[in-house]
Amino acid sequence: MLYVFKFPDIGEGIHEGKILKWHVKKGQEVMEGDPVVNVETDKVVTDIPIPKDGVIKNTYGKEGEVINVGDALVEMEVEGEEAEEEAEVKAPPKEGREAEGEPASRTEVAKAKTKTKKIEEKGFGVVGQIEEADTDAFLPATGEGMEAQAAVAAEKEPGRKALATPVARKMAMDLGIDINTVRGTGPAGRVMKEDIKKAFDEKQAGPKVARKPGKIEIPAEAEDMVEVEELTQIRKTIINRMVQSKFTAPHATAFEEVEVSRLVELRKEKKEELAEQGVKLSYMPFIIKAVSLALRRHKSLNCKLDMENNRVIYQKFYNIGFATDTPEGLMVPVIKNADRKSIIEIAESIKDLSDRARERKIQLDELKGGTFSITNYGSIAGTYGVPVINYPEVAILGVGRIVQRPVVKGGEIVPGNVLPLSMSFDHRIVDGADAARFIKDLMAMLADPLTMLMM
């Protein structure tokens, strides 16, 4: 019987991906776990494995085409029980293409509908390892970002027909909501009753301030003077994340300076020694360790605000994300349980994760689950900044460049090494005093790293 494998939800907030390369052709026999297509998602380029054994009947989408989660990827013949149910498939094959063995273009066939024998689809990940999305996923789904995406999706697919149960459809009709414009949060994008309720509430609340930027026209006479590049998936993600954070969490930023001569000395002393063992010791492992230890004492900086349920979730694990500059843009790999790792282990993790982020070999789950982030722009240049919180985290630390400056020690003016810190926090849940107390503890550890031994 026929089985349609859809582009799976490979992480919360990931809604689309670009097909880079097909690994299979029509008529090809595949085994469960075989990569069928190479896709550029928001943060990584990854292979999508097929969840069943079978023979490929059709592939949907051309290389370079953007597909949405829930869109049909592959139609295949599999062995097994038939489930007598009709399912909608967003991108059925076009006969002409089928005959040629060429993938059907999604835009050409989006409105079509076909009958197929439905097989229950399990949640499948990429590279066979990615877990189902959870609330810690690196692309959080809140109304802010989603609203814009749903609108974009609706614009892109005017004939888009939402997946929904009859109950949900009736509810939408009763409330005067066009269900096809509602973004579904259920399996494979299914529109749930909650989604309709939310859409109704938003409709009742009236129009929001338009956040979709206007179209930029390029005058014909200026065409030779500009270079136009299509946004990459990663850049789109960054845009959504930044907008979501700034429009959701009221940011407040605290600035501080800490004299870190002892840290500079310690790092200098150990740097060469560890280099011989292949460990690159920057200041970041010390900062990450100190942050993770300070977070253990200041739970409000390591929480999540769950407004849906009017509660705060205090996390007793300390996963520190560190902003990494890659050729494709910003990525934030996460060092899990940093408080339980030695500084050498953190140094090794930083190198491993950032190298793989730059090579785009990093796994999605290595970009998820952060509880606090650090951005070290000082490694390039800059003293202070107003970092944007990596929402739904509630704080981010910006680390500036260490500068030599005169400082007063024991009543004497002496040369010092000053590290500028800028910490943005979500002022809904983190009070200024909490932030200040956290920074004070952090500064104490950075000023005298050996005090970390006592934390």
Partner 1 sequence: MSIKISEDYNLPDSEMLRSGNSYKGLMVWVPENLMVVVGKGSDPEEELLAENILLDRIPVIRRGTGGCAVVLSPEMAVVSLILENDPDKKQNEYFRQFVGVITNAFKKMGVENIEMKGISDIAINGLKVAGSSIFRSKDYVFFHSIINIAGNTRAMERYLKFPPRQPDYRLNRSHRDFVTSLKEQGYEIDIHEFEENLKSEWLLHFR
- By CB under 8 A, name the binding residues for partner 1: 266, 269-270, 274, 339-345, 449-450, 452-455
The token pair that represents 51 in the structure block: 């969840």
Smallest distance from partner 1 to CB 337, Å: 9
Smallest separation (angstroms) from partner 1 to the CB of 293: 10
Which CB sits closer to partner 1, 269 or 355?
269
- Nearer to partner 1 among residue 270 and residue 437 (C-beta): 270
Nearer Cβ to partner 1 (413/454): 454
For partner 1, give the closer residue by CB, 297 or 311. 297
Smallest gap from Cβ 290 to partner 1, in A, equals 10
> Least distance (Å) from partner 1 to the CB of residue 284?
14
Select 110 or 344, whichever has its Cβ closest to partner 1. Answer: 344
Question: Residue 30 — φ and ψ, nearest 5°?
Answer: -130, 155
- Environment class of residue 404 by beta-carbon count within 10 Å: exposed (0-12), middle (13-18) or buried (19+)? exposed
Minimum Å distance from CB 378 to partner 1? 22
Q: Measure the CA angle with vertex 23, ends 20 and 24; round to 5°.
A: 130
- Looking only at the bridges linking them, the beta strands covering 311-314 and 412-426 are unpaired
| Residues classed as catalytic | 427
**Least distance from C-beta 343 to partner 1, angstroms?**
5
Q: Choose between 76 and 443: whose C-beta lies nearer to partner 1.
A: 443
**Residues with Cβ within 8 Å of residue 350, at least 6 apart in sequence:** 282, 284, 285, 288, 322, 335
